[in-house]
């Protein structure tokens, strides 16, 4: 097992500033008058414990204050927090971030799937300040088994009835998610990390994208969208990670700009936030105009019902 690097004060910010020194001039911090609204579809914030997923920066904290600092430097207007399981207080931190930085943060949370009392919480889930929906990983058992054997049928029905979107990391279960989408047409499902395994895989480039045909097959369901999050992690190349552009284009062509959402999962990125942005805004010649505005944030806010001005 790789040895975990011991954290230092503001270690994440310091590391990213060092990497940022290698940015090209087009990574400028300022935004023009007609700047695109940039909303990151997924980040993690935590205040204690080292990430159990070693792909993430091995620091004991990445706080809202640190995130805001890096977001401002990178030209990112807002981000959706996915509280990580390695910090039991991460959801409380997320709510504090929503309160302290109005319009900058929202949350995709979770209820324990194995507790009967969780069922009653879905109807009022979005009444919590900043809470947009639910997010789960289904890469391993028992969650993956529950996804397939019907144990979670209550979840899909309850979320559909309450208008609660669900995001899922489920590379081995994309076909099953398609069946769920078909049975629950009012349920808005979002597939994480281009349908791949995110930080749980060491595969790179085309080897990390063998699931793409299964993902593209889900485009026929109008209630399924895709988070184009963590893309640089899948690349063996340096910025702008050209080996991944073909797969991004395939997903964009299949789902359209209203159902593809830019994002980073920033704590496992090998590049600064600004380069994660400019990879999409400057390096994909087929993504421009109104479609660019949608992919970089507007479509996400519409899909998950986030009114940042409220």
* Interval 40-78: pLDDT, tens: 999 999 999 999 988 889 999 999 999 999 999 999 999
Q: Which residues lie closer than 8 Å to 219 by C-beta, 6 or more apart?
A: 254, 255, 259
Q: In the Cβ-directed half-sphere of 256, how many Cα atoms lie within 13 Å?
A: 8
Asked whether 12 and 267 are in contact (CB, 8 A), the reply is yes
Quote the mean pLDDT of the chain: 91
Nearest CA-CA partner of 197 in 230, 243, 245: 230
pLDDT at 65: 98
Place of tokens 């479509």: 299
Q: What is the dihedral of CA 156, 157, 162, 165, to 10 degrees?
A: 20
Q: Which residues lie closer than 8 Å to 153 by C-beta, 6 or more apart?
A: none
Mean pLDDT of the 210-217 span: 98
Cα gap 300→303, rounded to integer Å: 5
* pLDDT above 70: residue 291: yes
* pLDDT above 90: residue 214: yes
- 305-to-130, 158, 234, 298 alpha-carbon distances in Å: 10, 17, 29, 10
Asked whether 188 and 165 are in contact (CB, 8 A), the reply is yes
Q: Which domains does the chain have, with CATH numbers?
A: 35-304 (3.20.20.140)
Place of tokens 């109104």: 290
Determine how many CB atoms are found less than 10 A away from the CB of residue 67. 26
pTM: 0.91
* pLDDT above 50: residue 29: no
Give tens-digit pLDDT for 261-271: 999 999 999 99
Nearest CA-CA partner of 141 in 132, 133, 131, 151: 151
């Amino acid at each position: 097992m790789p040895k975990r690097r011991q954290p230092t004060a503001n270690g994440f910010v310091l590391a990213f500033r060092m990497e940022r020194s290698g940015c090209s001039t087009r990574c400028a911090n300022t935004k023009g008058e007609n700047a695109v609204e940039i909303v990151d579809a997924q980040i993690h914030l935590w205040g204690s414990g080292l990430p159990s997923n070693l792909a993430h920066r091995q620091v004991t904290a990445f706080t809202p204050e640190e995130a805001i600092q890096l977001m401002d430097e990178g030209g990112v207007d807002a981000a959706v927090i996915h509280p990580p399981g390695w910090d039991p207080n991460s959801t409380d931190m997320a709510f504090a971030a929503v309160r302290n930085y109005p319009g900058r943060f929202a949350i995709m949370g979770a209820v324990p799937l194995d507790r009967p009392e969780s069922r009653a919480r879905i109807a009022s889930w979005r009444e919590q300040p900043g809470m947009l929906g639910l997010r789960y990983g289904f890469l391993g058992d028992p969650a993956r088994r529950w996804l397939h054997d019907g144990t979670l049928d209550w979840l899909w029905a309850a979320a559909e009835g309450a208008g609660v979107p669900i995001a899922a990391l489920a590379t081995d279960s994309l076909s099953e998610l398609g069946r769920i989408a078909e049975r629950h047409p009012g349920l808005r499902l979002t597939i994480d990390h281009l349908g791949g395994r995110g930080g749980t895989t060491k595969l790179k480039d085309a080897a990390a994208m063998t699931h793409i045909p299964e993902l593209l097959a889900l485009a026929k369901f109008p209630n399924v969208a895709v988070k184009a999050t963590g893309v640089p992690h899948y690349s063996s190349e340096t910025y702008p990670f050209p080996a991944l552009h073909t797969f991004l284009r395939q997903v964009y062509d299949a789902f359209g700009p209203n159902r593809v959402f830019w994002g980073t999962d920033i704590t496992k990125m090998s590049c600064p936030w600004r380069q994660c942005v400019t990879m999409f805004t400057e390096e994909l010649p087929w993504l421009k105009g109104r479609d660019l505005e949608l992919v970089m944030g507007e479509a996400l806010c519409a899909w998950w019902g986030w009114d940042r001005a409220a």
